[in-house]
């Protein structure tokens, strides 16, 4: 019996050592995507214009890294808040931790090299080597063409500096350990010829990270087989908002839509001054229509053509439910 207890003790000690060693390796040695590249982006007028288009209307860097007015439908970006960050993801929106979206104006990025910004966008690693949780859809951005990432960097450099700072992100256990394992080396793509409508549309849909929001997500993982079928839940105050099914299913998705209807849906939101006021319990959406409305008609048509090739998934989505969460104390 004593021998058994001794063996059991050694086994427990061994397991503890393995667990401690694993956690130490993960927290001290990861992420490991390599050092930032030694690159220097020349902000030509053409590059800045491309970056403005991508950052404000396709990849939507400035949507997430700004503050939005959700007292109005679709939450247009507040004046003077472009790029300053400040939105909070915490337990009030059912997030396991506390993330303040950072300021990406030159006030905060002035000490970052172009290579450090490039690494953050494409691999999910900050200047100081800390992992970025994929609330920022860097897994999608990691497939962008190098020249498009350069364009975004060039545009961010010319934003108006906004003096604003926020606390560092914190995560609950075990996410505080797992987050270190998430960053991955980039697998950069190329910009397809716009004449190749499907490939070009697929590139734009990825750049917009459409699948991220339009796929159900359980504990940080997309539900296999439900890609683009909507139903991902977002907490807004005391309400629940769910993303739409954008697969070509004719009953529950957009299978009966025409390209013209798809384009018109976006262009309806071209004037943010017309954003309607909404009460805290009226139907609301997290979809940044007023930013996406700036996508060119030709690009929208390419995106629609690609989306129509997706697997249809039957999934009825109730897009808004009022008073569906218990308010946090």
- What does the pLDDT read at residue 327? 44
Q: Which of 111, 153, 19, 252 is nearest to 243 (CA)?
A: 252
The 239-242 sheet, strands edge to edge:
233-236, 239-242, 320-321
- What does the pLDDT read at residue 94? 85
- What does the pLDDT read at residue 122? 98
Q: CA 4 to CA 43: how far, in whole Å?
A: 70
Q: CA 293 to CA 269: how far, in whole Å?
A: 6
Q: CA 290 to CA 73: how far, in whole Å?
A: 10
- What does the pLDDT read at residue 104? 98
Q: Under 8 Å CB-to-CB from 163, ≥6 apart: which residues?
A: 107
C-beta of residue 141 within 8 angstroms of C-beta of residue 55: no
pLDDT along the chain (329 residues), means of 10: 63 64 65 94 97 98 95 95 94 92 97 98 97 96 98 98 95 94 96 98 98 91 95 92 97 98 98 94 96 98 98 97 65
Q: Give the CA distances from residue 152 to residues 100, 106, 109, in Å, rounded to whole numbers and listed in that order.
A: 21, 13, 13
Determine the angle formed by the axes of helices 114-123 and 146-157, rounding to 10 degrees.
Answer: 120
DSSP-based three-state secondary structure for 76 = coil
- What does the pLDDT read at residue 92? 87
Tokens at 172, concatenated:
């609950």
Q: CA 272 to CA 74: how far, in whole Å?
A: 9
- What does the pLDDT read at residue 329? 33
C-beta of residue 215 within 8 angstroms of C-beta of residue 223: yes
C-beta of residue 50 within 8 angstroms of C-beta of residue 148: yes
Name the pTM for this structure: 0.93
Query: Over the Cα atoms of the chain, what is R_g?
Result: 22
Q: CA 82 to CA 52: how far, in whole Å?
A: 12
Q: CA 33 to CA 321: how far, in whole Å?
A: 41
Q: CA 181 to CA 176: how far, in whole Å?
A: 10
């Amino acid at each position: 019996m004593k021998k058994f207890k001794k063996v059991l003790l050694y086994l427990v000690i061994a397991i503890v050592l393995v667990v401690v060693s694993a956690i130490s390796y993960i927290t001290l040695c990861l992420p490991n995507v390599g050092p930032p590249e030694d690159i220097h982006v020349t902000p030509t007028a053409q590059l800045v214009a491309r970056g403005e288009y991508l950052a404000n209307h396709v990849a939507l860097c400035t949507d997430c890294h700004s503050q939005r007015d959700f007292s109005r439908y679709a939450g247009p970006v507040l004046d003077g808040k472009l790029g300053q960050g400040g939105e909070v993801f915490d337990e009030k929106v059912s997030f396991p931790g506390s993330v303040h979206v950072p300021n990406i104006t030159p006030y905060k990025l002035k000490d970052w090299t172009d290579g450090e910004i490039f690494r953050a966008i494409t691999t999910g690693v900050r200047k100081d080597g800390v992992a970025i949780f994929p609330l920022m859809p860097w897994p999608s951005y990691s497939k962008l063409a190098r020249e498009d990432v350069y364009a975004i960097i060039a545009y961010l450099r010319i934003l108006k500096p906004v003096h604003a700072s926020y606390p560092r992100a914190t995560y609950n256990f075990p996410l505080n350990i797992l987050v270190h394992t998430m960053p991955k080396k980039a697998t950069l793509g190329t910009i397809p010829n716009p004449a190749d409508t499907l490939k070009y549309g697929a590139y734009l849909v990825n750049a917009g990270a459409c699948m991220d929001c339009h796929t159900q997500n359980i504990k940080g993982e997309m539900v296999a087989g439900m890609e683009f079928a909507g139903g991902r839940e977002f907490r807004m105050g005391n309400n629940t908002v769910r993303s739409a099914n954008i697969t070509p299913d004719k009953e529950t998705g957009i299978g009966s839509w025409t390209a013209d209807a798809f384009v018109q849906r976006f262009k309806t939101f071209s004037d943010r001054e017309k954003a309607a006021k909404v009460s805290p319990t009226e139907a609301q959406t997290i979809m940044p229509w007023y930013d996406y409305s700036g996508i060119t008609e030709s690009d929208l048509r390419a995106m629609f053509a690609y989306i129509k090739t997706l697997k249809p998934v039957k999934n009825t989505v109730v897009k808004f439910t009022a008073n569906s969460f218990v308010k946090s104390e």
